[in-house]
Amino acid sequence: MSAIHPDESLAQRMHGLQPGEQPSPRNTPIIPGTSDDGTLSEDPGKRAPCVLGDRSFEDVTNIVCGYAEAKMPKPWLAALTITSSIAALGTGMILYLIITGVGVWGLNNQVDWAWDITNFVFWIGIGHAGTLISAILCLLKQNWRTAVNRSAEAMTIFAVICAGIFPGIHVGRVWFAWFLAPIPNSNGIWPNFRSPLLWDVFAVSTYATVSLLFWYMGMIPDVATLRDRAYMRLTKGVSRPMAIPMPIGNDIIVPQLPKPDQIRVLVYGIMSLGWRFSSRHWHRYEKAYLILAGISTPLVLSVHSIVSFDFATSIIPGWHTTIFPPYFVAGAVFGGFAMVLWLMIPLRMILPNFSDLLTKRHLENMAKILLLTGTMVGFAYGMEFFIAWYGANEFEFAAFANNRVNPAKAPYWWAYWTMITCNVVFPQLFWFRKMRQNPLVIWIVATAVTIGMWFERFVIIVTSIHRAFLPGEWHMFFPTWVDILTFVGSCGIFMTLFLLFLKFLPVFALAELKVVMPQSHTHDDH
């Protein structure tokens, strides 16, 4: 057993085929005296490796498949228990809302959009990073994206699911939501195609469909790898029996149930559609991938532009602004990258060998994108304010000065300044190399940005409408417990789906990782 390769041994141990308590990861080449893992070189002539530790193709397969083939780890089960309980709570809140009506939320005559639409824009914005990484960075030939694209795309799908809930349920009588679809009906009524709200329906549903297909298509070869490995274990007779995990003590082994590998062969077999890694297939696959990347790029920009039209085409001061589309898109990318980093940095610490595939260079690159988009968002905040003053529209200026910025006059000043601190001030830390190379600092900034981006949407939506043109129409918005628990529940749904993804699907784009390894080159001479 001593001759067996460390990565293969790790994969087998994670799968329960080999005894051993703590899997020992291979040592990454850390330059002595620094926290550099060998990827932080500033020499432009030297390309940082995307996969560390001198790995072979087989090692990478073992590492990535090991995560999906491992026995359900206890911490994962504990986390899933918590998040799925929160998700169930959120589902209960949605049912309560549907049964009782939107009155259970804190909405009033003046503030008729509040946390519901805030949450919608928050989640749909988070989704944008996945498409950005998989499409725009693909077109720009940024090889480092292969480390994060799969998980970021998964995150996109789950965020769009969370986003889709809120506009669906905020309509009040949910059973009439089909009125949004252009379906011939006996009333002869058709939806109003001149409304940005209807454009939004088309944009978000197209985005959800295309992202899902993109994600699935990228996964076909990797799922085929999982299928083949499970099949090989079955034919060699080394599959473990089904075991039911218990909170304490040993798992209960049930030999009567089908083995996990038998289920894998069936489910992954159907999911991989009979993929057999043919070069003729790869050729069409790569073309399809490139076209999808090409159309997803304008798509991702269009979706958040259209979301911003929901506000920008109205005549409410604070909403009626032409800067909204680019401002929303930059904010979406910003918030999405923060969420990717927020999820990936803890995983990098917990999962063995994860940090060899997601190197410090990857984190630094993403921190740079946070700095760029954060500064763009900061510029947009400034420009919005400048135009409110320079445009000489006193209502627009009042919406900013009296409703948002001035602590003496604006009741929501704290929300505005939280947004500024989290979104504009925190990312500026990344001007310093030490800061953007420190995973803990990046994680803290990512947390701040996620909070800040929620507040940004809250500030745009609620502070603009809580005071209309007449002082008699001024009302504050106070969230009810249903408001709060529905939002918390949507976070639970998101995390539950992400945890399931981590356990059952390939977390890294395996085939794409192999392409960026030096062994994939066809000529030995360079």
Site for other proteins, rule CB under 8 A: 56-58, 61, 182, 188-196, 198-199, 202-203, 206, 209-210, 213-214, 216-217, 221, 224-225, 227-229, 231-232, 235, 273-288, 291-292, 295-296, 298-299, 302, 306, 309, 511-512, 514-515, 519-524
The kind and range of the H/E element at 305 are helix 279-312
- Min CB(246)–other proteins separation in Å: 33
Give the 3-state secondary structure of residue 252: strand
Structure tokens at 387: 């135009």
Q: Which residues, 6+ apart, have CB-to-CB distance to 309 below 8 Å?
A: 196, 199, 200, 324, 325
CB atoms closer than 10 angstroms to residue 505: 19
Q: Which residue has the tokens 């505005």?
A: 416
Q: Which residue has the tokens 């993929």?
A: 275
- Min CB(462)–other proteins separation in Å: 26
CB atoms closer than 10 angstroms to residue 263: 13
Residue 350 or 515: which CB sits closer to other proteins?
Answer: 515
- Min CB(214)–other proteins separation in Å: 8
Residue 154 or 299: which CB sits closer to other proteins?
Answer: 299
Q: Which residues, 6+ apart, have CB-to-CB distance to 483 below 8 Å?
A: 105, 106, 114, 115
Residue 302 or 447: which CB sits closer to other proteins?
Answer: 302
Q: Is 323 exposed, middle or buried (0-12, 13-18, 19+ CB in 10 A)?
A: middle
Residue pair 68/263 in contact by the 8 Å Cβ criterion: no
- Min CB(168)–other proteins separation in Å: 18
Question: Which residues are paired to 253 by β-bridges?
Answer: 243
Q: Which residue has the tokens 């390769």?
A: 5
Q: Is 452 exposed, middle or buried (0-12, 13-18, 19+ CB in 10 A)?
A: buried
**Which DSSP letter does residue 524 get?**
T
Residue 5 or 173: which CB sits closer to other proteins?
Answer: 5
Residue 192 or 250: which CB sits closer to other proteins?
Answer: 192
- Min CB(106)–other proteins separation in Å: 31
- Min CB(68)–other proteins separation in Å: 14
Residue 96 or 282: which CB sits closer to other proteins?
Answer: 282
**Which DSSP letter does residue 391 get?**
T
CA angle 108, 111, 117 (to 5 degrees): 115
Residue 173 or 276: which CB sits closer to other proteins?
Answer: 276
- Min CB(518)–other proteins separation in Å: 10
Residue 441 or 517: which CB sits closer to other proteins?
Answer: 517
- Min CB(224)–other proteins separation in Å: 6
- Min CB(419)–other proteins separation in Å: 28
Residue 77 or 198: which CB sits closer to other proteins?
Answer: 198
